[in-house]
Amino acid sequence: MRKTIGVRREDKNKWERRTPLIPADVNELYERFGITTIVQPSDIRIFPDEVYKNAKARIDEGLSNADIVFGVKEIPTRLLEKGKTYVFFSHTVKGQPYNMEMLKRLMDLQCNLIDYERMSDHRNARLITFSVYAGLAGMIETLHAFGRKMKMQGFRTPFERIKQAYQYSSDIKAKEEIKDIGLEISKTGIPSEIHPLAVGLSGYGNVSKGAQNILDLLPVKTITPDQLRVGLNGADLDNAYIYKAVFEEKDMVQPREGEFELQDYYDHPEKYESIFDDYLSDLNILVNCVYWTEKYPRLITRQRLKDYLVGSNKSGLQVIGDISCDINGSIEITKAATKPDNACYTYYADEDDYKNGIQDSGITIMAIDNLPCEFPREASASFSSELKVFVNDIVSADFKKDFKDLNLPNEIKKAVILQNGALTPDYQYMAAFL
C-alpha cells in the first residue's frame, strides 16, 4: 500500500516558523514505513526546503496526492480539499466562533479532522503538545517585561538584561543568560524597594512546568499560597531570593457551600467562586497557565482589581504573563492576543482602560498567543518526536469504515472530531456552536 502524507506551509503570520514533522523524522518514516512526505515550500520555516529534500521528502506546492495533511495552525477554508484527512490544532472544541466557518467547510467537504489537542492517554494527559515551550518562552517574556517596567519606575535590576525569547538563538542560550542573571541576584540581591519579590504560577501542568524551568534558574524559594495569603513580611525574608508560589485548583477557588473536592469542581464549576483576589496585593508577577472555559470562574476580574488594588499602599501586581491567553477569560483584562514585536499592553484598574506597550504604572499584560514560535527549532523537534509515533497508524486507517470500526489507537481515535464530514460521538455537542 502506497502511503503519502503532506506537510503544509504555515502562513498564519511571519512568526509561525514551526513544522509538525522535522526532516529527520520525515526520513525515519520513509525508512521504517515507506511513507512518502510531500512538503509545501516555505521561505520562513525553520527547516529549509533543501533539508527536507535531503530527507527524501518531495517539495511541492500541491498536496492533493497526500492521503493525510499535517499542519500546526488552522488551515484557511479556501485551501481545504474534498474528502481529505487533516491533522492540526483546529481550536474548535470550545466552540470558538472565529473557526466555525472552517469547521463547517470541513463538514461540507466530507473531510476527516484530527486535533492534536485532543490526543491523550488513559489519564487524559495530552500526548502531542508545544506546551513546555509555551511555558519557557512565556516566562522569559514575562521577566523581560518586568525588567523593563522596573527600569521605568527607576529600579535597576538584573531582569532588564533579559531579552525577549525570540531574540535568543536557542533555548540553551536563553537559559545560560538567565542562569548568569541568577548568580548576579544571589550576589547583589533584589532592590529593597521591590523586595520581597513574589511570582505566582496558576496551574501545574506542562505549561507551568516549562515556565518554572526558566524561573528556577534564578535563586528561588518556594512558598505555599497560604503563606502568600498571610503576607510576605518579617526578618526572615532574604533579598537574595525570589519567592515562588504555584497555585492548584484548591488555592484558586472555593465552594460556595461545603468543602473543596477536585472532581466536584470539574463536574460542577458553577458551584465555586474565585478566591484569587486574596493574593493580588502580595503578588508582583503572575504567570497564568490554566486551562479555562466559560463554565469555570475567572481568576481575576476587572471589579476585583479595582476593589483590591486601587488605593493599595502595596506595590501589588505589576505584570501578568497570560500564557493561556483566553480573551476576556480566566484573566478578564486580557483583551486581545499579541505578537512578539508588540508583546504587551497595560491595564489601569481605576480607569478600566488600556495603553499599548509596557508602562511604568498599571498592570502590564503579556499575551502572546503563539509563544512556542519564539523557539521554532526546538519546539518543532520536540513536537515531531511525539507525533511521528502515530503517523503510520493515522495514514493506515480506513476512514470509510463506521466510527466504531475505525482502526486507530484509542489515543488518536478520541481526537477524531469529524469523520467523513460528520461530528463523531464525543463531539456531537459542537453542533450547537454551528
- Would you say residue 6 has pLDDT above 80? yes
> Are residues 242 and 363 located together in one domain of the fold?
yes
> Are residues 205 and 345 located together in one domain of the fold?
yes
> Are residues 88 and 214 located together in one domain of the fold?
no
> Are residues 369 and 382 located together in one domain of the fold?
no
Number of independent structural domains in the chain: 2
The range of the structural domain enclosing residue 139 comes to: 131-374
Last residue of one domain, picked from the residues 357, 374, 391: 374
Q: Collapsing DSSP states into helix, strand and coil, what is residue 399?
A: coil
pTM for the structure as a whole = 0.93
Phi, psi of 293 (to 5 degrees): -130, 170
pLDDT for 315 equals 53
> Are residues 333 and 421 located together in one domain of the fold?
no
pLDDT for 107 equals 97
Residue 310: which pLDDT band, with cuts at 50, 70 and 90? low
> Are residues 310 and 411 located together in one domain of the fold?
no
Burial class (CB in 10 A: 0-12, 13-18, 19+), 184: middle
> Are residues 367 and 380 located together in one domain of the fold?
no
> Are residues 323 and 217 located together in one domain of the fold?
yes
> Are residues 232 and 329 located together in one domain of the fold?
yes
Residues 6+ apart with CB under 8 A from 29: 5, 21, 35, 37, 388, 391, 392
Grid cell, residue 343, equals: 508583546
CB–CB of 241/172 below 8 Å? no
Residues 6+ apart with CB under 8 A from 224: 245
Run of H or E residues at 378:
helix 376-396
Please tell me the distance from the alpha carbon of residue 420 to that of residue 106, in angstroms, as a whole number: 9
pLDDT for 238 equals 87
Give the tens place of pLDDT for each residue, 375-396: 999 999 999 999 999 999 999 9
Last residue of one domain, picked from the residues 326, 353, 374: 374
**Range with lowest mean pLDDT among 86-100, 221-235, 314-328:** 221-235
Instruction: Give the residue from 173, 175, 222 showing the smallest Cα distance to 201.
Output: 222
Residue 404: which pLDDT band, with cuts at 50, 70 and 90? very high
> Are residues 112 and 135 located together in one domain of the fold?
no
> Are residues 282 and 404 located together in one domain of the fold?
no
Please tell me the distance from the alpha carbon of residue 207 to that of residue 143, in angstroms, as a whole number: 16
- Would you say residue 313 has pLDDT above 50? no
Give the tens place of pLDDT for each residue, 194-248: 889 999 999 999 999 999 999 999 999 999 999 988 877 665 788 899 999 999 9
CATH code, domain carrying 365:
3.40.50.720
- Would you say residue 142 has pLDDT above 90? yes
Residues 6+ apart with CB under 8 A from 192: 239
For the residues 141-163, what does the mean pLDDT come to?
A: 96
- Would you say residue 257 has pLDDT above 80? yes
Instruction: Give the residue from 11, 2, 20 showing the smallest Cα distance to 380.
Output: 20
> Amino acid letter at 86?
Y
- Would you say residue 125 has pLDDT above 90? no
pLDDT for 347 equals 96
Last residue of one domain, picked from the residues 374, 399, 419: 374
> Are residues 179 and 86 located together in one domain of the fold?
no
- For helices 131-152 and 206-215, give the axis angle rounded to 10 degrees: 50
Q: Mark residue 266 as left, alpha or beta (left: phi above 0; alpha: psi -120 to 50; beta: remaining).
A: alpha
